[in-house]
């Protein structure tokens, strides 16, 4: 009898332990980008929304500054991150086994939603004599660090303009946050940065003693890019945010979208909770950064090339955004 009582107690404790474990807080991390870009505050905004209801969801979201899109995809696939902000072109390439993932399609990658448009922004010193992308030949140009989405955008733009980045320019591989200081110090002539506007790094670049201008990506170059790559679209750099720049009118270029990605291995209820909090606090979310002002709920389902995660799909069907 005593043995049965001890066994019953042990089983009760074991069951209680399982119940406690299931109710324990779960932790997920969002990979973003450099702290001067839009990815980092975007990740922060999403984490704050979800963390307000952490007891309801048993979920705590943290944010990590990372090297950018390529890093985020690889970290999600390795299980080092649960979520990441990824340029739409990089999502396409990862899912289809192109570029850095040549022959190795990342079939566990899942889309959650897209966010703001990002313009490929070419900033050049006025004294370097760079007025068009063709003038970059022979110059020292930052094309972006390995692991960033912008690096491939820079290479694509240069190639469409007939410029070989390995032979025709002196290419630097700096992080986006380092480029404005290097431009102002005279150590580079120009830099590319794929970013939503306004950007802290671009403001820094245009506010220094060395005068700078935004360099137009001409229509014929943009046409080549949009015809070849399904994820590129024409866009403009709004000069209203950068009074220190030489330009007086918005500058034509091309761009991509920022997208929020995860893995099929992340539980459905976690993805559902994050999607729900962003979309049910949509007006609040839009106020967090000027780059979000063009967002609509419908546009946040565009630019996705990996399949939707079932958790996101469930929410979108519930509210009628997906039929």
Answer yes or no: same fold for 27-116+257-318 and 118-256.
yes
Measure Cα distances from 272 to 46, 49, 62, 87, 280 in Å: 13, 13, 17, 22, 12
% of the chain exceeding 90 in pLDDT: 82
Note the pLDDT tens digit of each residue in 72-106.
Answer: 999 999 999 999 999 999 999 999 999 999 999 99
Listed by start position, the domains of the chain span: 27-116+257-318, 118-256
pLDDT score at 23: 67
Task: Look at residues 271, 267, 244, 263 and name the one whose alpha carbon lies nearest to residue 307.
Answer: 263
pLDDT score at 38: 85
14 — pLDDT class (breaks 50, 70, 90): very low
- Distance between CA atoms of residues 223 and 212, nearest Å: 26
Note the pLDDT tens digit of each residue in 192-243.
Answer: 999 989 898 999 999 999 999 999 999 999 999 999 998 998 999 999 999 9
- pLDDT above 50 for 1: no
Question: What is residue 132's DSSP assignment?
Answer: B
- Distance between CA atoms of residues 138 and 126, nearest Å: 16
- pLDDT above 50 for 16: no
pLDDT score at 291: 84
Torsion of CA 118, 120, 121, 124, to 10 degrees: 170
Note the pLDDT tens digit of each residue in 52-67.
Answer: 999 999 999 999 999 9
pLDDT score at 213: 98
Q: Answer whether 80's CB lies under 8 Å from 277's CB.
A: no
Q: Answer whether 50's CB lies under 8 Å from 273's CB.
A: yes
36 — pLDDT class (breaks 50, 70, 90): confident
Q: Is the Cα dihedral 229, 234, 238, 239 positive or negative? A: positive
Which CATH number is 118-256 given? 3.40.190.10
- pLDDT above 70 for 7: no
- Distance between CA atoms of residues 111 and 312, nearest Å: 8
Q: Which CATH architecture has domain 27-116+257-318?
A: 3-Layer(aba) Sandwich (3.40)
Burial 248-279 (b: 16+ CB within 10 A, else e): eeebbbbbbbbbbbbbeebeeebbbbbbbbbb
Cβ count within 10 A of residue 247: 15
Tokens of 236: 């403009």
Pick the range with the lowest mean pLDDT from 14-18, 119-123, 149-153.
14-18
- Distance between CA atoms of residues 8 and 172, nearest Å: 68
Note the pLDDT tens digit of each residue in 291-320.
Answer: 888 899 999 998 899 999 999 999 999 999
């Amino acid at each position: 009898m005593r043995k049965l009582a001890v066994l019953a107690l042990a089983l009760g404790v074991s069951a209680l332990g399982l119940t406690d474990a299931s109710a324990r807080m779960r932790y997920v991390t969002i990979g973003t980008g450099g702290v001067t870009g839009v990815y980092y505050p975007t990740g922060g905004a999403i984490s704050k929304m979800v963390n307000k209801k952490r007891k309801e969801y048993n979920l705590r979201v943290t944010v990590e500054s990372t090297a950018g899109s390529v890093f985020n995809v690889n970290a999600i696939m390795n299980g080092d991150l649960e979520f990441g902000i990824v340029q739409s072109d990089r999502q396409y390439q990862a899912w289809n086994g192109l570029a850095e993932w040549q022959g190795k399609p990342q079939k566990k990658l899942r889309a959650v939603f897209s966010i703001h448009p990002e313009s490929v922004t070419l900033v050049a010193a006025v004294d370097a004599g760079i007025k068009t992308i063709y003038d970059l030949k022979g110059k020292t140009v930052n094309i972006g660090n390995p692991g960033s989405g912008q690096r491939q955008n820079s290479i694509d733009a240069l190639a469409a303009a007939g410029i070989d980045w390995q032979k025709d320019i002196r290419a630097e591989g700096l992080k986006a946050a380092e480029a404005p200081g290097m431009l102002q110090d005279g150590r580079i002539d120009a830099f590319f940065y794929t970013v939503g506007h306004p950007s802290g790094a671009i403001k820094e670049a245009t506010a220094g003693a060395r005068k700078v201008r935004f360099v137009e990506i001409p229509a014929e170059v943009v046409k080549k890019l949009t015809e070849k790559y399904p994820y590129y679209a024409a866009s403009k750099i709004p000069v209203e945010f950068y009074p220190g720049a030489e330009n007086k009118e918005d500058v034509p270029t091309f761009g991509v979208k920022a997208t929020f990605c995860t893995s099929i291995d992340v539980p459905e209820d976690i993805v559902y909770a994050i999607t729900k909090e962003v979309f049910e606090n949509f007006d609040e979310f839009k106020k967090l950064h000027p780059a979000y002002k063009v967002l609509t709920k419908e546009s946040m389902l565009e630019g996705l090339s990996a399949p939707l995660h079932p958790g996101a799909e469930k929410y979108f069907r519930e509210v009628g955004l997906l039929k």
